[in-house]
């Protein structure tokens, strides 16, 4: 008698139960942390899409195929490997959550069909071990996928504010400047330095300073149109690009709005703080034809605004010529 036939059936049953419970526990904790509304939204936005539904149908079809092939051979577990291919592929493509869902569905359907068609327990231990391997592979691949996404997010977004960092800003800026060149449009670049930020840090502490930077980022984002974008340049400096045929007057109006917005009190955990903003503006193509030149000239205009008394804006063309 082969070793698999000596394994008690309760072991196989317990293994099945444990593996079936894993996705259910994941679902439970997801609902507990995010709520049913978020689950429904995720199903609609992330799961019920043509490519994911196609993968789902492929897994169901393979489940029928695997069980059908099992009729012709006692070596049922050999065909079960077919299920692993789309399951692992979904983990690589869409990450842990979707991969684990498909692993659960694919394995559960196949095992259900296997039981409904009245097969004996021949090969069930191998099937369960492959089931375990698919779940474990999905988790490991999904975790790598999630970590890759985290690394990617950190490489293009500022960790504190969630705004684009300069790496992403340069790519977006170059693309929009190229578009402006084709359409013969202007682009405005605003260089923003926060006035009074050092005093805020000294008074309330660095934790409050970090909180203020997050709130500044939110206010800047809310000041822009969909076509525009903002990035954290570094420290208490931010940079904005205004696209879509913007004029000097339009750029000045946006800068004035931002200054007004920044002058409103910030309700921090440790108290109420008041700051300001000095802004320099450069215009494509008059002040430069590339992002680095525009940043440099907007920076110069910003320092000119600070010399004028802070909490104001200045165009680069208003700079004195030497």
Q: Return contacts of 291-297, CB within 8 angstroms, 24+ apart.
A: 291/170, 291/173, 291/174, 291/177, 291/189, 294/173, 294/187, 294/189, 295/189, 295/191, 295/239
Q: How far apart are CA 297 and CA 287, in angstroms?
A: 7
Residues 303/307/309/315 CA torsion (nearest 10 deg): -50
Q: How far apart are CA 55 and CA 290, in angstroms?
A: 44
The residue from 228, 236, 287, 299 that is catalytic is 236
Q: Among this protein's residues, is 236 annotated catalytic?
A: yes
Q: Beta-carbon neighbour count of residue 235 at 10 Å?
A: 11
Q: Are 302 and 279 in contact (CB under 8 A)?
A: yes
Q: Exposure of 108 by Cβ count < 10 A (0-12 exposed, 13-18 middle, 19+ buried)?
A: middle
Q: How far apart are CA 246 and CA 143, in angstroms?
A: 44
Cα-based distances in Å from 302 to 66, 67, 191: 68, 71, 6
SS3 149: helix
SS3 119: coil
Q: Are 145 and 92 in contact (CB under 8 A)?
A: yes
Q: Please give the backbone phi and psi of residue 113, each rounded to the nearest 5 degrees, phi first.
A: -60, -40
SS3 194: strand
Q: Are 312 and 305 in contact (CB under 8 A)?
A: yes
Residue positions annotated with a catalytic role: 236
């Amino acid at each position: 008698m082969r070793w698999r036939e000596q394994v008690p059936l309760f072991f196989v049953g317990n293994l099945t139960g444990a593996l079936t419970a894993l996705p259910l526990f994941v679902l439970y904790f997801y609902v507990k942390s995010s709520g049913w509304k978020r689950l429904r939204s995720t199903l609609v936005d992330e799961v019920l899409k043509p490519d994911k539904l196609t993968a789902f149908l492929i897994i169901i079809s393979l489940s029928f195929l695997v069980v059908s092939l099992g009729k012709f051979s006692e070596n049922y577990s050999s065909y079960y490997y077919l299920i692993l291919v789309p399951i692992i592929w979904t983990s690589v493509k869409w990450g842990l959550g979707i991969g684990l869902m498909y692993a659960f569905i694919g394995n559960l359907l196949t095992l259900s069909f296997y039981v409904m068609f009245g097969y004996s327990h021949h090969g069930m231990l191998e099937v369960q071990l492959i089931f375990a391997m698919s779940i474990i592979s999905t988790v490991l691949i999904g975790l790598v996928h999630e970590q890759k996404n985290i690394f990617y997010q950190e490489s293009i977004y500022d960790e504190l504010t969630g705004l684009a960092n300069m790496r992403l800003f340069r790519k977006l800026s170059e693309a929009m400047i190229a578009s402006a060149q084709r359409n013969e449009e202007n682009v405005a670049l605003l260089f923003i330095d926060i006035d009074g930020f050092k005093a805020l840090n000294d008074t309330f502490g660095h934790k409050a300073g970090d909180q203020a930077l997050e709130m500044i980022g939110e206010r800047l984002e809310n000041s822009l149109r969909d076509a525009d974008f903002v990035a954290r340049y570094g420290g208490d400096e931010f940079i904005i690009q205004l696209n879509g045929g913007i004029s000097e007057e339009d750029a000045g109006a946006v800068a004035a709005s931002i200054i007004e917005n920044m002058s409103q009190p910030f309700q921090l955990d440790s108290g109420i703080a008041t700051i300001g903003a000095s802004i320099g503006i450069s215009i494509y193509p008059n002040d430069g034809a590339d992002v680095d030149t525009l940043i440099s000239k907007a920076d110069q205009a910003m320092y000119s605004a600070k010399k004028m008394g802070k909490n104001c804006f200045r165009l680069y063309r208003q700079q004195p010529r030497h």
